[in-house]
Structure 1
């Protein structure tokens, strides 16, 4: 079982992680996990551990416990999750709720049993109320109704935050949670049905440019405002938090600025070289009117985003085109 120690009783303070210690990244092949893996490698970590879903099904509790007993990681980042855009979340809420709960409970319980010293649980900004005051502070959690198109996924992520807080209270392990805004970058899901808004726009506009289409139709009105963070920035923030932050409250991770979906579509069109007309299907849902995170807690911890949105989109378009043949969907 995990040792019972607390920051108060042992004088625990965040600091530089041991680069030679076993470090397990759950979900290391996904958008976020692969970026964290790259960041850890570049930072000098020499004992990184990861398993693909075919090698280790994180929904299989016995298999997860066995793996943790074998590896005995000192550090863990839980980046594994079932994720998707509005359409996928709205169509398959049971899948998003049950699969994420299973993954989280198995990994967090196994990590607790092995006494993992530092664990970072990654959630999502969709945990906050649909009409939360903007920018959204960490204190907004559980103060209002969730966005109904992804409430099942949000509830699973809220449960993860509560799990981390409960482990801190009951077992004293200095685990933390981070809530990123909308992420994008190399390794994203560009499938036609499961992608988030930015990769979906990249795919749509790149196809339109290659096919010479005269117009592109996007979902909704284009009016909602969204914040976007390059996944390499997210990975840098994760390592920074592990080495500089300790506390029970989740930490928002974002840029502190947002754009309308129309402005985002214009940036994508420019990046792919599309010059046709832009149209909007207003019968499709917009989702939350605005979602901008208050990142003052992260700033106070000494970290700010570095990659401008237009630069990040160009980088992502380049990666997409270079990997088009191998992309899922």
Structure 2
């Protein structure tokens, strides 16, 4: 039995175009960093039926409940932004949770979407899917060419499985499902927990606390020399909608800015934005991590999209949001 080369809807070759603003659009993970940004973007763009459920209302790890919900709402479009996420400490401490939870979430949502003939699905992954020593900047074809970073390999394997799941649906059923791999994201509704957050929200919390208490110094791990790429979640949301309306292909698409900064530079900027007046010290006995992690975003550029929010502007907006919500943010 041969495979279809071109994705199709109802047997007709699929051509990306403007999505139906009146169709039901399900955002899985609509309260999270990425999902909430996507909801804001869709509503701003005039989508009238954007739906979602909190994890308390719908446990995406429960297959029967997911199938029942999907059969009830019958979405035409889905963005799968729901995931169990965390920093290096959480990933390395609880690898079973990160593998099992994410595999179940993805498999349940994607299988239920297939069972209900969902036309367009965008699966969102993470840049950690790429090999630890991939050539920089990292191209999409680096996938599965080398060993993963050991501290988050379980999470990465789950996300790789999600990419292959969307590709398999394209091959077997011809549906125009796509996947996108963002670089390091930040913005409103991020996780600012001291133990569970990623580097940028952790730095925002650390410097804001120091600014409030008038501390003389802040100490960060490592040398500050590793280079990282950061993308505001509102830019990510804009890119996802753009890809759903302009891109169709089996390969995952990297989503980032195409530029990076050192951890030292990001710390200095956050210190300036928060008003911290003290000194920054570096504990060089602590590990630095990978020297550089930068995505090649040429495929995204070919699809007609570039990041719009500068790091300075994005940090100012995120710090302001953090200060407005510091008493209610998730731990």
Q: Does the TM-score normalized on the shorter chain lie above 0.5? A: yes
Aligned residue in 2 for 1:7: 7
Partners of 2:324 and 2:71 in 1: CA distance: 39
TM-score by length of 2: 0.96
Partners of 2:176 and 2:219 in 1: CA distance: 48
1:239 matched to 2:241: yes
Q: Contact between 2:254 and 2:296, CA under 8 Å: does it hold in 1?
A: yes
1:82 matched to 2:87: no
1:316 matched to 2:318: yes
Partners of 2:126 and 2:242 in 1: CA distance: 18
Partners of 1:162 and 1:264 in 2: CA distance: 34
Q: Contact between 2:27 and 2:81, CA under 8 Å: does it hold in 1?
A: yes
Aligned residue in 2 for 1:272: 274
Deviations 1:183-234 (A, max 9, x none): 0011111111111100000000000111111111112221111000000000
Deviations 1:24-69 (A, max 9, x none): 0000000000000000000000011100000000000000000001
Partners of 1:45 and 1:141 in 2: CA distance: 34
Residues 7/118 of structure 1: CA separation in 2 closer, same or farther (3 Å cut): same
Deviations 1:78-130 (A, max 9, x none): 00000111111111111111110010000000001111000000000010011
Aligned residue in 2 for 1:43: 45
Aligned residue in 2 for 1:110: 112
Aligned to 2:296, which of 287, 294, 297?
294
Aligned to 2:260, which of 258, 261, 276?
258
Partners of 2:174 and 2:52 in 1: CA distance: 26
RMSD value, Cα: 1.2
Bigger drift between 171-180 and 86-95 goes to 86-95
How far is 1:5 from its partner? 10
Q: How does 1:14-93 map to 2 (within 5 A)?
A: 14-93=16-95
Partners of 2:99 and 2:292 in 1: CA distance: 24
Partners of 1:5 and 1:313 in 2: CA distance: 43
Deviations 1:269-322 (A, max 9, x none): 000011211112233332222110000000000000000001100110000001
Structure 2's unaligned 5+ residue stretches are none
Aligned residue in 1 for 2:100: 98
Return structure 1 stretches of 4+ with deviation > 4 angstroms.
none
**How many matched pairs?**
326
Partners of 2:58 and 2:282 in 1: CA distance: 42
Partners of 1:220 and 1:150 in 2: CA distance: 19
User: SS at 1:183's partner residue?
Assistant: strand
Partners of 1:202 and 1:218 in 2: CA distance: 12
Deviations 1:106-161 (A, max 9, x none): 00000011110000000000100111111100010011111111111111100000
Q: Contact between 1:26 and 1:77, CA under 8 Å: does it hold in 2?
A: yes
Aligned residue in 2 for 1:122: 124
User: SS at 2:327's partner residue?
Assistant: helix
Partners of 1:159 and 1:285 in 2: CA distance: 29
Aligned residue in 2 for 1:184: 186
User: SS at 1:252's partner residue?
Assistant: strand
How far is 1:7 from its partner? 3.0
Structure 1's unaligned 5+ residue stretches are none
Partners of 1:281 and 1:83 in 2: CA distance: 26
Partners of 1:208 and 1:7 in 2: CA distance: 53
